Structure 1
Amino acid sequence: MIKGAIVGFGKIARTNHLEAFQSEELQRSFDITSAVELDTNTRERCRKEYSRINFYESLDEMYSNDKVDFIDITTPPKYHKEIIEWAVAKKLNIICEKPFTLSYREAEELYNKLNDSNILFTPCHQYKYSPLWSEFKSLLDELDKDVKVFLQFNVFRTGADPGLNTNVSPWRLNKEISGGGILSDTGFHYLYLSNWLLGKPRKVTTINHNLAHSSFQVEDTSQVILEYDRGTIQINLTWAYHGRRNEAKLISKTGSIFYDGSNYLIKNFNGKEEKISVPDASDKSHYTSLYAKLFSDFAKEVQKKNFHKKGLQDAYNTIYLLDKCYESACKRKTIELRNE
């Protein structure tokens, strides 16, 4: 069993991470002994509610009292770099919520430190564990490599997630804390998914808008077009919808998948149509199960002392792509991407 501390005890920590760690699947693999929470009121309230967890005001206070094998970072992106550097110095393995860092510049500073370390860095790119996106991946693997494809993701929300404290403006709307709007938040998932499905893109074109929230510091709507050797991916994101909806399409001459946000998708391959059951992408229990699968793999690698850098490279490549998306939106032009 490996012992860990959650750093930042907000909504995602309580409603997804902790539930995943305490699930029947993982309760023999993990022992979450500690949590670090800066806010005094939150810390004292949670100390009573989660009596089996030791709560601390700082990382150093936690480290001097509890021996842990890893930390799980669930703070807003602004604080990731400082926490990661602290963990590297203490030689602690790391699980880190997306996005990796506040900016690509910060990612560059951290990359070599993590790459040269004997610790495992695992970003929360949990969508890759979803049966839904695995169906998309499987069809792409079935198609001939010379068949061009078009993928489209439509991700519609009513606004930024307010977290647990609905009396204050969501931190996701503060660019200094979040790094950006819906593209940096929800969009980050679809950037790493795109790279997982089709490899590294050659070009990116992005247009950002504020359709319903003109006072926001960050975009509430984003359209991204990624050009790959195998085809094109279009990502449409908005916080300006009247509900919550997820859609996705994969189209080619020999095969296609259509997903309309329900609990099934329609797959057509070589003229044969098939209805395949998948979890509802908006279902909370399904979302927590993806974390459980990610954490399970993390535990196995730590126990084997396999401190590979696959997760680090994935996080680094995705923050680079996010940076180029914003550059494209700012310059209002298509950006050529590196291919190394």
Structure 2
Amino acid sequence: MTAANQRFRVAIVGCGIGRSHIVEGYEPNADKFEVKALCDLNVERMTPIADEFGIERRVTNFDDLLAMDDIDIIDVCTPPGLHYPMVMAALDAGKHVVCEKPLVGSLAEVDEVIAREKVSKGLLMPVFQYRFGDGIEQAKAIIDAGIAGKPYVGTVETLWTRGPDYYAVPWRGKWKTELGGVLMTHAIHQHDLFTYLMGDIKRLFGRVATRVNTIEVEDCVTASLELENGALGSFTATLGSADEITRIRLAFENVSFESDHAPYNPGAKPWKILPRSPETAERIAALLENWQHVPPRFTTQMARFHAALLGKAPLPVTSADSRRALELVTAFYHSSTTHEDVELPIGPGHARYKSWVPAEFA
């Protein structure tokens, strides 16, 4: 097999969202990847998934994956509290790494991961699958082409539903294992899309509350933001909505965008694109005239990861992207506690650099 069509061999640890990685990511890219091993403490959950996809190698010990010389990529899909040691161990073992969000549990840890990457053989790709699909990529293309002009304001609404059945899973709803609530586990994707399109955040004033479920972590949040480029933004999220939508609305100088409202795939379908003038409409039409379909979510993220592994393209998502997301989370929790604006970037001197988890749960 030539380098141009090399198939990379994958081991997945964690068979919850790990199954979606197979169905949406690796199976549609079967010419690029082969899932050779699964690892999960829950054998009853792992076995039917392994049977379904014909994966013969099944282990319950993560260290067994590290010792497998024929595994190129370790895909970490465990509860968030386990990400840091697994990512570091996989990099130390010379593996490429894919890791679900949140990448790790503090800015200190993400900075350690970034430092380790620089001396590691393998590449690390965090997961932000909502970045991929026709809707999000058309908006990004218009912005990057300079057609949209100056960003003005943007709003992100993550209005989802989670109840006691969801939190019956032992690791959910707890600071030690989930590392946060709706802000960390659910809205993090949409907030990433906001910064991806609008720019870096300069200052944030946020509030978090636990109003829907009897859990340690938050299930309602809201924030007001100022961006480095002068634009303003607002975030709202809850797990107590009667229906489920994700809505991103962005107003630029020459065009406004509104995402599809699909809660878990807002980037897939074409977005509402509202140009201010016929001239802008013509420029957008010309840009998108020969648009090639972009499969959503993991399908495209994994395909672009393959190109990056071959040295043909940059990583589609980087640890720096994860740091930006975790910096926002850190600012959010600190602001809610202190009732103050928090200025970004956040460095080692900040009170929450080493952890945003409340002291009583650390």
Question: What are the equivalent positions in structure 2 for 1:91-130 lying under 5 Å apart?
Answer: 91-130=94-133
What residue in structure 1 maps to residue 217 of structure 2? Answer: 218
- SS of the equivalent of 1:95 reads strand
What residue in structure 2 maps to residue 327 of structure 1? Answer: 334
Q: Tell me the distance in 1 between the aligned counterparts of 2:86 and 2:113.
A: 11
Equivalent residue letter for 1:36 = C
Matched pairs, number: 322
Aligned residues with identical type, % of pairs: 20
What residue in structure 2 maps to residue 84 of structure 1? Answer: 87
Equivalent residue letter for 2:143 = L
Q: Tell me the distance in 2 between the aligned counterparts of 1:176 and 1:288.
A: 35
> Displacement of 1:154 after TM fit?
1.1
What residue in structure 2 maps to residue 158 of structure 1? Answer: 161
* Residues 115 and 312, structure 1, Cα contact 8 Å, conserved in 2: no
> Displacement of 1:45 after TM fit?
4.5
What residue in structure 2 maps to residue 175 of structure 1? Answer: 175
Q: Tell me the distance in 2 between the aligned counterparts of 1:18 and 1:310.
A: 18
Query: Alpha carbons of 1:260 and 1:92: their partners in 2 closer, same or farther (altered >3 Å)?
Result: closer
Q: Tell me the distance in 2 between the aligned counterparts of 1:32 and 1:208.
A: 39
Query: Alpha carbons of 1:32 and 1:310: their partners in 2 closer, same or farther (altered >3 Å)?
Result: closer
Q: Is it true that 1:249 corresponds to 2:249 in the alignment?
A: yes
Query: Alpha carbons of 1:170 and 1:149: their partners in 2 closer, same or farther (altered >3 Å)?
Result: farther
What residue in structure 1 maps to residue 273 of structure 2? Answer: 267
* Residues 43 and 56, structure 1, Cα contact 8 Å, conserved in 2: no
Equivalent residue letter for 1:176 = K
Q: For 1:5, which of 2, 11, 18 is the aligned residue?
A: 11
Q: Tell me the distance in 1 between the aligned counterparts of 2:126 and 2:199.
A: 18
Equivalent residue letter for 2:221 = S
> Displacement of 1:338 after TM fit?
2.3
What residue in structure 2 maps to residue 336 of structure 1? Answer: 343
Query: Alpha carbons of 1:170 and 1:242: their partners in 2 closer, same or farther (altered >3 Å)?
Result: farther
What residue in structure 2 maps to residue 206 of structure 1? Answer: 206
Q: Tell me the distance in 2 between the aligned counterparts of 1:234 and 1:247.
A: 12
> Displacement of 1:135 after TM fit?
3.6
Query: Alpha carbons of 1:339 and 1:169: their partners in 2 closer, same or farther (altered >3 Å)?
Result: closer
Q: For 1:37, which of 28, 40, 48 is the aligned residue?
A: 40
Structure 1 length-normalised TM:
0.84
What residue in structure 2 maps to residue 283 of structure 1? Answer: none
- SS of the equivalent of 1:289 reads coil
Deviations 1:2-34 (A, max 9, x none): 101001111x111x201124434x111100000
Q: Is it true that 1:304 corresponds to 2:311 in the alignment?
A: yes
Which ranges of structure 2 fall in alignment gaps of 5 or more residues?
A: 1-6, 263-268, 285-292, 348-362
Question: What are the equivalent positions in structure 2 for 1:277-316 lying under 5 Å apart?
Answer: 289-304=296-311, 311-316=318-323
Deviations 1:259-297 (A, max 9, x none): 4626554322123598x9xxxxxxxxx998310111111
Query: Alpha carbons of 1:158 and 1:33: their partners in 2 closer, same or farther (altered >3 Å)?
Result: same
- SS of the equivalent of 1:242 reads strand
Q: Tell me the distance in 1 between the aligned counterparts of 2:79 and 2:44.
A: 18
* Residues 161 and 170, structure 1, Cα contact 8 Å, conserved in 2: no
Query: Alpha carbons of 1:298 and 1:47: their partners in 2 closer, same or farther (altered >3 Å)?
Result: closer
Equivalent residue letter for 1:13 = G
> Displacement of 1:134 after TM fit?
2.5
Query: Alpha carbons of 1:305 and 1:121: their partners in 2 closer, same or farther (altered >3 Å)?
Result: farther
Q: Tell me the distance in 1 between the aligned counterparts of 2:324 and 2:230.
A: 19
Q: Tell me the distance in 1 between the aligned counterparts of 2:68 and 2:315.
A: 29
> Displacement of 1:86 after TM fit?
1.1
Query: Alpha carbons of 1:170 and 1:269: their partners in 2 closer, same or farther (altered >3 Å)?
Result: farther
Which ranges of structure 1 fall in alignment gaps of 5 or more residues?
A: 277-285
Query: Alpha carbons of 1:134 and 1:161: their partners in 2 closer, same or farther (altered >3 Å)?
Result: farther
Deviations 1:61-90 (A, max 9, x none): 234456111111111110001111111111
Q: Tell me the distance in 1 between the aligned counterparts of 2:63 and 2:312.
A: 25
* Residues 156 and 191, structure 2, Cα contact 8 Å, conserved in 1: no
Structure 2 length-normalised TM:
0.79
Q: Tell me the distance in 1 between the aligned counterparts of 2:178 and 2:8.
A: 30
> Displacement of 1:186 after TM fit?
1.7
